[in-house]
Amino acid sequence: MSAVHDLRDTFRRHGLLHDTPCVIFEICNSAQAKRAFDMDGGLSALMPCRISVYGTSDGLCLATVLPTVLMGPYDNPELTRVAVEVEEAALEILKDAAG
Q: Which domains does the chain have, with CATH numbers?
A: 3-98 (3.30.310.70)
DSSP state of 20: S
Low-confidence ranges of the chain (pLDDT < 70): 1
**What local confidence, expressed as pLDDT, does residue 2 receive?**
79
51 touches 27 (CB < 8 A): yes
Type and span of the H or E element at 37: helix 30-39
Q: What is the pLDDT of residues 37-48, one digit of tens each?
A: 999 999 999 999
Residue type, 45: A
Residue 63: strand, helix, or coil = strand
Contacts of 91 (CB under 8 A, 6+ apart): none
Report how far residue 42's alpha carbon sits from residue 3's, in angstroms, rounded to the nearest whole number: 21
**What local confidence, expressed as pLDDT, does residue 30 receive?**
93
Report how far residue 64's alpha carbon sits from residue 81's, in angstroms, rounded to the nearest whole number: 19
**What local confidence, expressed as pLDDT, does residue 61 receive?**
95
Q: What is the pLDDT of residues 62-77, one digit of tens each?
A: 999 999 999 988 889 9
- Residue 50 bridge partners (DSSP): 26
